[in-house]
Structure 1
């Protein structure tokens, strides 16, 4: 019997001799030898959790080979090696059963080819899943306890590392970079120097922990992170540190890099900074985002919004402008690819629509002229056919009258002529029907209705939802190229078929 072995260890289990890949393989080979199985392959996943199938390449290969019926039985050291999820386990067993394959576990001593083995499998699978949930809960409890004791629950930011006791300690050379960033930001006073800080770091040759260049978002997140002031937090999302319902901040056990007074001062600057306090307006869809091309570096331009200056409306209420613009994506990278280029929605959107409107209307009239020419040809054909059919029907009617009034015994000439005319009329009526069903002729008949619906693209465009505007634009436009003085240089369109779907 052709047998294969499946062995797996998680990262934590690799250090334990009994769990090792070599130990499992050795035991299973002896097991196969005792049953006189022919081991043809060993599938192994090293340093991988048994939580699910998706991250286990060897197991996925085994299941693929099972579907191809490349073996007869799968041997495992322990049920949990195959899966800790009951659902995944039963799914794998179903695949094995469908392809006439059994599997045996060395530790649990059962065979899935028997009814008792299948029942035992479900029972043990439930236990395996229970164990996994218990482990996950214990890990969560452990992390929460670490947080209560003032320790970080997970990864720690740039400037720190864990020692052998899992305590966060300062990395001196990285701490110097942190201090430079915070000091530079304090000196800016208005909080609008993050891009400059990013570029200075990259120009100096400083790298992130992953040896990459700095970007604007990373710098902002660092300035907002209280870990540098000696605090730990939980219940936050990354990028802007959005609070969950159970979010909290407590004094940490680690040494701060930035004093609390400096951190609080920076927090106040950030709070007062219009450009740092980004406000997302869900109703504001940037129609041309990612279609505009920066004239300075060729990068794509994305939507960007922030709260502008205060103003008093007609009711005497104090309001703030929402400043909306398109900004080059390379502006944030801090890699000096672009000095920074942006243009407001209000300034550019209408100009783009005017250009598209002119193009679409021009396309309409050019298409119309072509179709009207077709219409003339098709109309002449229809008229000619209709006149000929009318003439033949009149002639056929005359032969019927002559046939009825004839006194001769030989009526065959009349019958032959009537039949001939009948066939001719049928053929012409068929030809007329084909002409009228012609796609071009049908389009021509609908032309007037078409013009009345979208003869003005701009009017149509501004009377649909913002989401629909964005969808239509992406079917018509590929790229929009700007000049350095924020004017339209050219608009690259998609193929005419797509445009014709709106013309």
Structure 2
């Protein structure tokens, strides 16, 4: 029987390889107390790893003055997740679940992804580490409590705001054009107030909003601090804002009670509060009322089908500058004009196009597809299905790919230990590690391709819908149908005055001539 002698390692794995740790910190406001807390968290993690033999701190990811209910607003958090995917981190430390996320869905989604990458998260306050599978139930509970806490705080703040609105003590955070804020009170800004009065006088004298806007830009009249040029929406805002009469209408918008919080225009969904004499007036109430009546009369005189009721609204884009086209009426006919060209013709060459011509181009395209959708769409559908099958026929998932990378990285660690112990010379070490790194890079490329599969599935689904739509619609179109346009067209790009590029659902792009 052979005799086996165990040779104990002379260098422990812990000495050769330290866990790469990251710390995530977050405070939810920019107040002085919170910033102090933020600095304290950062200093704590810097000191915690100074004398550690088993762990090393690779980076501190810190979001300052950012909400935890929305992951897309946390740049440092997104950077940390990206570094995890790149294999730069083995473990994440964070103060508590509420610091990591206050949205249960996002919390669990990220933790599950991190676990699939072999990365653990340690929540110090709750003493939970995600390496233990049974902790997911605890994370769900704690994440739910953190979300409920965030919702409760949000509701309390909204209740406080409504209370101050009701008793007339609510203060505006941002002064409108024509005013500035001094000691919490709105004070008239003389130079801007002159512009406000001019806009009202011009509109009452029969000058339209677009003409007023152009006149202000030609004279280089300064606009608000957030914009270099005047726009029609800014002129409209001034002409319809009751604050210029010295009164304030509060809660013009409202927020949802559930996460993620969304804001909507208040069309009778929530209480509004009209507070009189809150600040000095720039415009007399009588003048303001005359302007509102004039705006109402002009809106009633417009032909049916306002820009917001048109199927083309927010679907037409300029091929030269990328701007969205707006709908304009002239002598009871509609035209679509590039916003940039409308402000200054020298900035964009795309001229306005008759809506009737756009409708006619769509009808011709639609009728061509009615007859030819099978030879046009079916090959594209088949190509996408073949690509999807090629990517998934092996049954290999992204997680399995990451596991392969983990095994290859473990082999590089073994090679490093063998080289350290003198069992492997430099040339063989470099050759084998180069080969392993090449395999890792190849798998990472495959992962990128697999990540595209979700987009391929969505495109394939849209193509199926498009083919199904034309299989049911065998009749030719005689007059423009808005419902048909919205069903099959994603957007239109105006290439020039003679060509329109229709982007259909499913990614198909077809060009159609504009007939004169």
TM range (shorter): 0.5 to 0.7
Q: Secondary structure at the match of 1:62?
A: helix
Compute the displacement of 1:158 (Å): 1.7
The 8 Å contact of residues 66 and 95 in structure 1, kept in 2 or not, is answered as no
User: Aligned partners of 2:493 and 2:147: how far apart in 1?
Assistant: 52
Cα deviation, residue 477, structure 1? 9.7
- In the TM superposition, residue 126 of structure 1 has moved relative to its aligned partner by 2.8
Alpha-carbon offset, residue 102 of structure 1: 2.5
Q: 1:89 aligns with which of 107, 112, 116?
A: 107
Tell whether the 8 Å contact from 1:104 to 1:111 is kept in structure 2 after alignment. Answer: yes
Q: Pick closer, same or farther for the CA change 1:460–1:73 going to 2, 3 Å.
A: closer
1:30 and 2:47 are equivalent in the alignment? yes
Q: Counterpart in 1 of 2:178?
A: 159
Pairing of 1:377-392 with structure 2 (within 5 A):
none
Superposed displacement of residue 466, structure 1: 4.5
Give the one of 282, 285, 289 matched to 1:264: 289
User: 2:130 and 2:489 mapped to 1: Cα distance?
Assistant: 58
Q: Is the 8 A contact 1:476 1:498 kept in 2?
A: no
Provide the C-alpha distance between the structure 1 equivalents of 2:192 and 2:269, rounded to a whole number of angstroms. 33
- Normalised TM-score (structure 2): 0.57
Three-state SS of the structure 1 residue aligned to 2:305 is coil
Asked if 1:243 corresponds to 2:252, the answer is no
Task: Name stretches of at least 5 consecutive residues in structure 2 with no aligned partner.
Answer: 1-18, 255-264, 369-474, 503-508
For residues 388-407 of structure 1, the aligned pairs below 5 Å read none
Q: Distance in 2 between matches of 1:139 and 1:236?
A: 17
Shifted more, 153-162 versus 112-121: the winner is 112-121
Shift of 1:218: 1.8
2:172 and 2:86 map into 1 onto residues whose CA distance is: 45
Instruction: Structure 1: give runs of 5+ residues left out of the alignment.
Output: 309-322, 361-458, 482-489
Q: Deviations over 1:77-96 (max 9, x none)?
A: 33322112222222232233
CA distance in 1, matches of 2:120, 2:318: 59
1:146·1:153 contact (CA, 8 Å) conserved in 2? no
Return the alpha-carbon distance in structure 2 between the equivalents of residues 234 and 41 of structure 1.
Answer: 45
Shift of 1:271: 1.9
- The answer to whether the Cα contact below 8 Å between 2:325 and 2:336 also exists between their aligned partners in 1 is yes
Measured in 2, the distance between the counterparts of 1:68 and 1:126 equals 29
Which position in structure 2 is the counterpart of 1:328? Answer: 337
Q: Offset of 1:460 from its aligned partner?
A: 4.4
Matched, 1:203 2:218: yes
Give the alignment of 1:6-405 within 5 angstroms: 6-13=24-31, 15-16=33-34, 18-20=36-38, 22-33=39-50, 36=53, 37-114=55-132, 120-150=138-168, 151=170, 155-165=174-184, 167-186=185-204, 188=205, 190=206, 192-209=207-224, 210-236=226-252, 243-246=267-270, 248-252=272-276, 253-274=278-299, 280=305, 285=311, 290=316, 302-305=326-329, 323-330=332-339, 333-335=342-344
- Residues 51-73 of structure 1 show CA distances to partners (whole Å, capped at 9, x for unaligned) of 12212222122223334443332
In the superposition, relative to structure 1, how do residues 478 and 305 fare at CA in structure 2: closer, same or farther (>3 Å)?
closer
Q: CA deviation at 1:227?
A: 1.4
In 2, the alpha carbon distance for the partners of 1:269 and 1:262 equals 11
TM-score by length of 1: 0.59
**Kept after mapping to 2: 8 A contact 1:325/1:342:** no
When Rg is computed on C-alpha atoms for both structures, the one with the higher figure is 1
Cα displacement string for residues 230-250 of structure 1 (whole angstroms, at most 9, x for unaligned residues):
222245469xx8733336351
1:411-426 correspondence to structure 2 within 5 Å: none
Contact 2:245 2:282 in 1 (8 A): yes
Check 1:168–1:214 CA distance in 2 against 1; reply closer, same or farther (3 A cut): same
CA displacement at 1:327 relative to structure 2: 4.6
Offset, 1:476: 11
TM-aligned CA deviation for residue 132 of structure 1 = 0.5
**CA 342–24 in structure 1, closer or farther in 2 if over 3 Å, else same:** closer
* Range with bigger deviation, 218-227 or 150-159: 150-159
Contact map agreement 2:317 2:492 (CA 8 A) in 1 = no
